[in-house]
Amino acid sequence: MAEDELETVVLEEDDYALDSTLFTAVRIAVAAGDKERLGELLEPLHSADIADFLEQVDSAHRREILFLAGNKIDGDVLSELDEVLREEVIEFLPKEVLDEAVRELETDDVVDLVEDLEDEQQEAILDALEDADRVAVEQALTYPEFSAGRLMQREVVAAPEHWLVGDAIDYLRETEEDLPEQFYHVFVVDPKMAPLGYVTLGKLLSAKRSTPLSDLFEDSFRTIPVLQDEEDVAYAFNQYHLISAPVVDDGGRLIGMITIDDAMGVLDEEHEEDILRLAGVGESSLSDRVIETTKQRFPWLAVNLVTAILASLVIAQFEETIAQFVALAVLMPIVASMGGNAGTQSLTVAVRAIATKDLSPSNVWRVVRREALVGLTNGVIFAVVMGVIGVLWFGTPMLGVVIGVAMVVNLVVAGLAGILIPVALERFGIDPALASGAFVTTVTDVVGFFAFLALAGAVLL
């Protein structure tokens, strides 16, 4: 591919993945120490794509790129970077580049940037800010992590309740310079600064100047308490189709605004957390190194070792039975495995329903009953299938009966454990995505092995 073709093919059009020719072209430019060419290659990229690019190369290559093209790393790129990489990149950037990058960000983005940094780096970034911005960022940092207060921007457009459309338009024209970079509503407040409603800019533009703002209020209006968990903020935006919402303090006074793009980011992160936690992986990224990744994976594997040993202790009780009838050792993993899978199915549905607030005290018993019946139905079907296979394979009719009965028992238990364990964890304030898997598979392993081996011992010997 010719060099000038390369320049245009930076993103695969259909699916936004970074084109592999870009990686090659950057590697060539870096090898040649060609600063200008490297700049040309990165220039057309969105800051989010530059961040992704830096995440996808290895750390030595990343340093070379930063060395040659550090000036392409602006505040937006820093914001988009994974936390782990962010620290690395900040450490590597020259002070003047970093200072300029930080100064061009809105305060809510600075908060997002610094909140997970270590004290020293945080201090360096705060020092780069103008006094007013620094105060704003420091105040935001006084709100708890993952609260609406950390997510909001302080710049809002507020209007007193007696204003007409004309007043609002004149005000917007006058304060042009100081308006938030992105805003979609004018918030109408009472004299105590409590939000009363909001007007979309579209309505403002199309209504007559003499219309009172309060005639144009939207139904979708909702306020967000500053201490609300960001997960609930994201839920509210998605559930009620909000575009922006005023944030209020304890006294109900307007102190900021959250916009849907930030809420969408939170929704995405929360999902990532759930999906990784369900698989027993901590917060992680592809750019993590071996040692970090090993550490993230270790705890759940350790828990799993304990539960696997627990299951083995159950098997050990039946050593004599197995010694007399080795077919049991061959078949017993099937019962445990089917239970584990059925349990994982139930628990995933339950964890997801808890996250979307669809599982409540009013319907939990109905769902429990359903899971038990589903377990029973599938249990009976697979019991028959597996019973027949057991008989054909080993030629012992009673073995078929034993594995069939054990299968039914374990699938019913799996259904029950899959719903009851996450619900119980949620009641105790533990994230059900985090811990349910370990408990559920322990239950299905123990019950599966016990039901099968105990029954076999009683019937076959």
Residues 80-119 that bind a copy of itself (CB under 8 A): none
Shortest reach from residue 397's CB to a copy of itself, in Å: 19
Decide: 242 and 221 in contact? Cβ < 8 Å.
no
Q: Which of 158, 201, 384, 454 binds a copy of itself (CB under 8 A)?
A: 201
Q: Which of 147, 378, 410, 436 binds a copy of itself (CB under 8 A)?
A: 378
212 binds a copy of itself (CB under 8 A): no
| Structure token digits, residue 71 | 């000036």
Q: Which of 31, 290, 392, 461 binds a copy of itself (CB under 8 A)?
A: 290
**Residue 77 neighbours by CB under 8 Å, 6+ apart:** 47, 50, 51, 54, 101
420-459 positions binding a copy of itself, by CB under 8 A:
445, 449
Place of tokens 């090659």: 24
Binding mask 384-413 for a copy of itself (x = CB under 8 A): -xx--x------------------------
Binding mask 42-81 for a copy of itself (x = CB under 8 A): ----x-xx--x--xxxx-----------------------
133-192 positions binding a copy of itself, by CB under 8 A:
169, 172-173, 175-176, 179-180, 182-184
127 binds a copy of itself (CB under 8 A): no
Cα(238)–Cα(145) distance, integer angstroms:
21
Decide: 258 and 148 in contact? Cβ < 8 Å.
yes
344 binds a copy of itself (CB under 8 A): yes
223 binds a copy of itself (CB under 8 A): no
Decide: 129 and 137 in contact? Cβ < 8 Å.
yes
Decide: 213 and 159 in contact? Cβ < 8 Å.
yes
The DSSP annotation for 404-415 comes to HHHHHHHHHHHH
Binding mask 236-275 for a copy of itself (x = CB under 8 A): xxxxxxxx----------------xx-xxx-xx--xx-xx
**3-state SS, residue 432:** helix
Query: Given the complex with a copy of itself, which of 85 and 136 has the nearer CB atom?
Result: 85
Cα(218)–Cα(35) distance, integer angstroms:
52
Which of 16, 103, 15 minimizes the C-alpha distance to 52?
16
Find the helix packing angle between 47-56 and 20-31, rounded to 10°. 70
DSSP one-letter code for 178: G
Shortest reach from residue 343's CB to a copy of itself, in Å: 10
Query: Given the complex with a copy of itself, which of 126 and 336 has the nearer CB atom?
Result: 336
Q: Which of 193, 349, 384, 391 binds a copy of itself (CB under 8 A)?
A: 349
Cα(405)–Cα(87) distance, integer angstroms:
56
**Residue 313 neighbours by CB under 8 Å, 6+ apart:** none
Q: Are strands 185-189 and 195-200 parallel, antiparallel or unpaired?
A: antiparallel
Query: Given the complex with a copy of itself, which of 139 and 396 has the nearer CB atom?
Result: 396
Query: Given the complex with a copy of itself, which of 129 and 322 has the nearer CB atom?
Result: 322
Q: Tell me the window of 66-74, 86-94, 147-155, 284-292 that interacts with a copy of itself (CB under 8 A).
A: 284-292
Query: Given the complex with a copy of itself, which of 75 and 126 has the nearer CB atom?
Result: 75
